[in-house]
């Protein structure tokens, strides 16, 4: 009888964990899918409301910055109250921002709606809070691989949301397309009900997890490895946002047909799914800091090869496939290293601060790309910056101190890692 009860309990735990993982992957996929489809609205909004490309671009850049700024605070709410209420509330704010975009006009609709509110919504339905819920739900030996699976789902919905949104915009107008995105965003509210947060067991806490949020932040600020990882994470956002925003324009300057740009971005999305799964698989078996360093190095090598050879349709597709595999696989690795260094109790908060660096990089990459072209008439300066920043990230990550520490009084001691 006792064996049967334990078996039923294990089966129930497995079912609950599976539900959380699937729900998290679907929420992340919808959140990223909507966000990555907003560029479809530039031309129709420009035609109807007279909003310039720079004004529209500023709203999306503001969104990235707001996402980064609010991520630590939203993450702290997730640590304190659990993922479910944070995800549900953030999904509602996300839908409200899209509603403003549909009916609010240039300032209220774009800057407040698509910029401020959607930025807050993404911070609560993106990586930090969802990864925290999944990390708490799965066994330690499966954590990195499962986070890789969730990250892989982050690009899949774009393959459906973008074409669906484009169809509605062309046939029914951009406002109808925006309202459709509102309905899709509200699905995240329903899925958020399925997200739970497994609390850290007080009996298994070590000194890191007994720290309060302020003490954990101070410990992170004093840990050279966490600082190195956070600074290197800047390069990730810097490189990826530049490519997302400016690759089509760069290809146009090089005389590559526009259809190749769309194909390249699609291939990046598919490659990201495969790369995230691969990162999760390797991260469970090999040094996570070395894998992160390798990702930054291979990205930088790919960029050098791309810009130093004639840019053609074939080289663009090859570049997109390579970058796709290296795209967001770094996120589960950064998440796993954060857990290794500081445990699970304040994971959302600490990951949020690391991700803020990523979003600063994203904002800078998007802005610097346009600035370099406006000043010089080419993207050479920006590509050079991508190579320089990527090389620096490789060095920081390769030599990162990834030993967890416990602060007891004034002494800092190395302690065994939570895998």
pLDDT, residue 323, reads: 92
- C-alpha pair distances (Å), 411 with each of 121, 220, 225, 343, 414: 40, 15, 17, 19, 10
Residue 204's pLDDT band (boundaries 50, 70, 90)?
very low
Looking at 3.10.20.90, 1.20.120.530, 1.20.1250.20, 1.25.40.10, the CATH number of the domain 1-199 comes to 1.20.1250.20
Task: Read off the pLDDT of residues 347-382 as tens digits, 9 standing for 90 and up.
Answer: 888 988 899 999 899 888 878 877 888 788 888 999
Distance CA 186, CA 386 (A): 37
Could you tell me if 223 and 353 are in contact, meaning their C-beta atoms sit under 8 angstroms apart? no
Q: If you average pLDDT over every residue of the chain, what do you get?
A: 84
Helices and strands in the chain, H and E counts: 19, 2
In which element (H, E) is residue 100 found? Answer: helix 83-103
Residue 416's pLDDT band (boundaries 50, 70, 90)?
very low
Distance CA 295, CA 299 (A): 6
Residue 405, SS3? strand
Report, as an integer, the average pLDDT of 4-32.
Answer: 80
Q: Do domains 1-199 and 203-419 have the same CATH topology?
A: yes
Residue matched to tokens 């007279």: 50
Please choose, from the candidates 262, 242, 261, the residue with its C-alpha nearest in 3D space to the C-alpha of residue 253.
Answer: 261
Report, as an integer, the average pLDDT of 379-406.
Answer: 92
Domain edges within the chain: 1-199, 203-419
- The Cα angle at residue 279 between residues 276 and 285, in degrees rounded to 5: 150
Could you tell me if 401 and 228 are in contact, meaning their C-beta atoms sit under 8 angstroms apart? yes
Residue 409, SS3? coil
Percentage of the chain with pLDDT > 90? 35
- Three-class secondary structure assignment of 20-64: HHHHHHHHHHHHHHHHCCHHHHHHHHHHHHCCCHHHHHHHHHHHH
Query: Is it the case that residue 109 has pLDDT exceeding 80?
Result: yes
CATH number for the domain whose boundaries are 203-419: 1.20.1250.20
pLDDT: is 45 or 321 the higher one?
Answer: 321
- What's the sign of the alpha-carbon dihedral 335, 338, 344, 349? negative
pLDDT, residue 200, reads: 47
Residue 404, SS3? coil
- C-alpha pair distances (Å), 83 with each of 121, 139, 378: 13, 18, 45
Could you tell me if 32 and 127 are in contact, meaning their C-beta atoms sit under 8 angstroms apart? no
Q: Which of 21-30, 45-54, 91-100, 250-259 has the largest mean confidence?
A: 91-100
Query: Is it the case that residue 333 has pLDDT exceeding 70?
Result: yes
Please choose, from the candidates 65, 385, 118, the residue with its C-alpha nearest in 3D space to the C-alpha of residue 243.
Answer: 385
């Amino acid at each position: 009888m006792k064996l049967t009860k334990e078996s039923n309990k294990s089966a129930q735990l497995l079912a609950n964990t599976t539900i959380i993982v699937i729900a998290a992957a679907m929420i992340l996929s919808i959140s990223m899918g909507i966000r990555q489809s907003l560029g479809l609205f530039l031309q129709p909004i420009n035609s109807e409301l007279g909003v310039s490309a720079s004004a529209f671009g500023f709203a999306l850049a503001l969104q990235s910055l707001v996402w980064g700024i609010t991520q630590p605070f939203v993450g702290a709410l997730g640590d304190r109250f659990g993922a479910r209420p944070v995800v549900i509330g953030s999904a509602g704010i996300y839908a409200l921002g899209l509603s403003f975009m549909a009916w609010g006009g240039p300032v209220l609709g774009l800057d407040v709606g698509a910029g401020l509110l959607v930025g807050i919504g993404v911070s609560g339905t993106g990586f930090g809070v969802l990864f925290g819920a999944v990390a708490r739900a799965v066994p330690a030996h499966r954590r990195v691989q499962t986070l890789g699976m969730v990250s892989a789902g982050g690009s899949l919905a774009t393959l459906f949301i973008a074409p669906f949104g484009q169809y509605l915009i062309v046939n029914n107008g951009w406002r109808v397309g925006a309202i459709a995105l509102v309905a899709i965003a509200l699905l995240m509210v329903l899925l958020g009900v399925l997200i739970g947060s497994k609390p850290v067991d007080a009996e298994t806490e070590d000194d890191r997890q007994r720290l309060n949020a302020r003490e954990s932040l101070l410990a992170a600020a004093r840990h050279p490895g966490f600082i190195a990882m956070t600074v290197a994470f800047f390069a990730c956002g810097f490189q990826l946002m530049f490519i997302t925003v400016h690759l089509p324009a760069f290809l146009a300057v090089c005389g590559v047909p526009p259809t190749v740009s769309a194909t390249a971005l699609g291939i990046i999305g598919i490659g990201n799914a495969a790369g995230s799964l691969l990162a999760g698989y390797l991260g469970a078996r090999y040094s996570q800091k070395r894998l992160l360093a390798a990702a930054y190095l291979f990205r930088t090598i790919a960029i050098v090869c791309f810009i130093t050879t004639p840019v053609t349709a074939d080289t663009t597709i090859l570049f997109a496939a390579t970058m796709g595999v290296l795209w967001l696989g770094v996120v589960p690795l950064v998440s796993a290293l954060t857990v290794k260094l500081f445990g699970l109790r304040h994971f959302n908060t600490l990951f949020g601060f690391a991700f803020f660096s990523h979003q600063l990089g994203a904002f800078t990459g998007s802005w610097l790309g346009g600035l370099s072209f406006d000043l010089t008439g080419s993207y050479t300066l920006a590509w050079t910056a991508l190579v320089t920043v990527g090389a620096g990230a490789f060095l920081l990550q390769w030599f990162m101190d990834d030993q967890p520490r416990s602060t007891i009084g004034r002494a800092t001691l190395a302690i065994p890692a939570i895998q």
